[in-house]
Amino acid sequence: MCRSLWGLIPKYCDASPNTAQDLESLLEIYQEDIGPRAAVVPEVQRWVNKWKKEDVSTVPSSAIEAHCACHADIYPNVYILLTILGTLPVSTATSERSFSTMRRLKTYLRSSIGNERMTGLALLSRHEDRQIDREKILNVFVASSNRRSDFVLILNL
């Protein structure tokens, strides 16, 4: 699936030509997102032919570059397919790390944590290598908390 989508990137159009089988698989997978076969096949062929005429050094080499170079009015289906390609995850490692962090944070004792606090804890855990200015955080907490006087008294002790 992704291999056939990569064939839409101008730099790789010649290296992996969009065969009829690749286009058929794209049409089958994304039939709800793109137009009918009669419109998509000639559009993809025009897209590939457009970039064959260009100098190799000027053609887009990534999904994002190709997406930016694609005119949605002229190539609507190619534009949609490039949008899909640009949003596909490169790997699942980031999402797996997030779920591992969530599993560590959301223990039995913390099961009543609200979404905002859980998001904050997850971000702190994920970006633990960042330096945190504790004084700044304390000042923000003291300035915004309803328990300002109690907290300030504790700090003064």
State the chain's mean pLDDT as an integer: 76
> What confidence score (pLDDT) does residue 148 get?
46
Q: How far apart (Å, rounded) are the C-alpha atoms in residues 109 and 111?
A: 6
Other CB atoms within 10 Å distance of the CB of residue 26: 25
pLDDT tens digits, one per residue of 113-134: 777 777 777 777 777 777 877 8
> What confidence score (pLDDT) does residue 16 get?
53
pTM: 0.55
Average pLDDT over residues 75-102: 80
Greater confidence, 111 or 136? 136
